[in-house]
């Protein structure tokens, strides 16, 4: 088996059929790949609207579980996968027609740990007015990179999307790479760790996915639970600074990426949290998860680090008052 495609299903009745249909428009013989659909206890008609597709294809396996979140779904899919490579598309996105085959064949030929592709972002309205079969791909071009080069040159901390990457299954298993259960924003620590531990990679300049933007996501929908999930993602990414053998350049970028997530968290605490008690609760939770978190690139980072470590509540109060003043 060359490829395992893991698809999560939870409350995606409107989007799941285009996602599954796109998998079977890749010019791949069905003997070459399997589709693992993990039903995460969905309460809508998601499974019903794809029942005929499941029945029509022998290479589809359905795994059912009580709702445990996307991290557990992906971990379960990885454990069940048999393919040399693993792809994990989001169920509200879909693959561009005939986009996967060149990536898979290059992965199999080179046996690299990761193949990272490009994608397009579109709203529902834009998707309705475009035929993905008519999208003009450029010639298939790619660069072979080390994991370190890929980390330094291509990893954007704002866009740590796992669905744009083919992962070599043995690479994931050998390095015990898994998603943190029970949290949103699980892609951030997972992607950082994969890039840091990968040896040989391919950065393909080739469109693979249509990313459906503009509807509810973990980024735009906020509550205290999701803020604490971001705290956990920050802490897990920060733990990677203790990996052995990281170069100075890697350490610098890794800390900058963590500071990016930290700044996002502070913005959320200040701008999206109404209760003072909730603001303090979130920053206290981060302190529990990452007590040694610190930044030193420039005066602002040093001040933020000092206040966070020694006077976290005062830090939040000052940032809140500053935000009010700056808006006047």
* pLDDT for residue 184 is more than 90: no
User: Are 115 and 165 within 8 A, CB to CB?
Assistant: yes
Q: For residue 123, which phi and psi values (nearest 5 degrees)? A: -80, 170
- CATH classification at residue 11: 3.90.550.10
Same domain, 206 and 230: no
Mean pLDDT of 181-187: 90
Q: What is the model's pLDDT at position 217?
A: 44
Percent of the chain with pLDDT over 70: 96
Q: How far apart are CA 243 and CA 254, in angstroms?
A: 11
Same domain, 60 and 82: yes
User: Are 181 and 68 within 8 A, CB to CB?
Assistant: yes
Q: What is the model's pLDDT at position 218?
A: 41
Is 199 inside any structural domain?
yes
**3-state class of 226 per DSSP?**
helix
Q: Which residue has the tokens 């800390």?
A: 255
CA 33 to the chain's CA centroid = 22
Same domain, 207 and 292: no
Mean pLDDT of 104-128: 94
Q: How far apart are CA 76 and CA 258, in angstroms?
A: 27
What is the domain extent for residue 287?
224-327
In the chain, how many domains are there? 2
Same domain, 229 and 208: no
Domain termination residue (choose one: 181, 212, 243)? 212
DSSP-assigned letter for residue 164:
G
- Residue 75 bridge partners (DSSP): none
User: Are 312 and 283 within 8 A, CB to CB?
Assistant: yes
Mean pLDDT of 284-312: 95
Same domain, 86 and 228: no
> Which range, of 149-153, 192-196, 220-224, 238-242, averages the lowest pLDDT?
220-224
Same domain, 200 and 252: no
Q: How far apart are CA 181 and CA 173, in angstroms?
A: 17
Is 218 inside any structural domain?
no
Is 92 inside any structural domain?
yes
Confidence of residue 325 (pLDDT cuts 50, 70, 90): confident
Q: How far apart are CA 190 and CA 74, in angstroms?
A: 11
CA 147 to the chain's CA centroid = 17
Mean pLDDT of 74-79: 98
Q: What is the model's pLDDT at position 36?
A: 98
Is 217 inside any structural domain?
no
Same domain, 248 and 180: no
Could you report the per-residue pLDDT of 191-206, keeping only the tens digit for each? Answer: 999 999 999 999 999 9
Q: What is the model's pLDDT at position 204?
A: 98
**3-state class of 252 per DSSP?**
helix
Domain termination residue (choose one: 189, 212, 235)? 212
Same domain, 183 and 63: yes
Same domain, 176 and 90: yes
Nearest to 230 by CA among 271, 179, 264, 270: 264
User: Are 197 and 252 within 8 A, CB to CB?
Assistant: no
Q: What is the model's pLDDT at position 215?
A: 61
Domain termination residue (choose one: 212, 244, 277)? 212
Q: What is the model's pLDDT at position 15?
A: 96
Query: Whole-number mean pLDDT of the chain?
Result: 94
Q: Can you give the pTM of this predicted structure?
A: 0.93
Mean pLDDT of 216-226: 66
Q: How many residues does the chain have?
A: 328
The dihedral of CA 163, 168, 170, 176: what is its sign?
negative
Same domain, 148 and 102: yes
* pLDDT for residue 219 is more than 90: no
Same domain, 84 and 121: yes
Same domain, 43 and 7: yes
């Amino acid at each position: 088996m060359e490829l395992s495609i893991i698809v999560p299903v939870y409350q995606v009745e409107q989007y799941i059929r285009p996602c599954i249909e796109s998998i079977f428009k890749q010019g791949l013989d069905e003997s070459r790949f399997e589709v693992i659909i993990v039903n995460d206890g969905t309460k809508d008609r998601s499974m019903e609207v794809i029942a005929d597709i499941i029945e029509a294809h022998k290479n589809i396996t359905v795994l059912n579980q009580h709702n445990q979140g996307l991290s557990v779904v992906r971990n379960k899919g990885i454990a069940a996968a048999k393919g040399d490579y693993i792809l994990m598309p989001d169920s509200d996105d879909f693959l561009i027609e005939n986009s996967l085959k060149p990536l898979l064949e290059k992965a199999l030929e080179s046996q690299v740990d990761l193949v990272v592709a490009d994608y397009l972002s579109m709203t529902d309205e834009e998707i309705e007015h475009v035929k993905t079969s008519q999208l003009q791909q450029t010639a298939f071009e790619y660069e072979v990179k080390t994991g370190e080069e890929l980390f330094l040159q291509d990893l954007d901390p704002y866009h740590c999307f796992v669905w744009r990457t083919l992962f070599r299954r043995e690479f994931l298993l050998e390095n015990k790479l898994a998603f943190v259960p029970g949290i949103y924003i699980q892609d951030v620590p997972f992607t950082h760790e994969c890039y840091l531990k990968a040896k040989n990679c391919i950065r393909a300049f080739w469109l693979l996915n249509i990313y459906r933007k503009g509807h509810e996501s973990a980024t735009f929908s906020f509550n205290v639970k999701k803020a604490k999930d971001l705290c956990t993602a920050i802490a897990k990414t920060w733990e990677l600074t203790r990996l052995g053998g990281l170069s100075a350049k890697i350490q610098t970028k890794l800390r900058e990426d963590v500071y990016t997530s930290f700044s996002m968290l502070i913005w959320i605490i200040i701008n999206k949290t109404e209760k003072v008690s909730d603001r303090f609760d979130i920053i206290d939770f981060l302190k529990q998860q990452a007590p040694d978190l610190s930044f030193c690139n420039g005066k602002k980072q040093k001040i933020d680090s000092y206040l966070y470590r020694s006077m976290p509540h005062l830090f939040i109060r000052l940032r809140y008052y500053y935000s009010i003043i700056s808006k006047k």
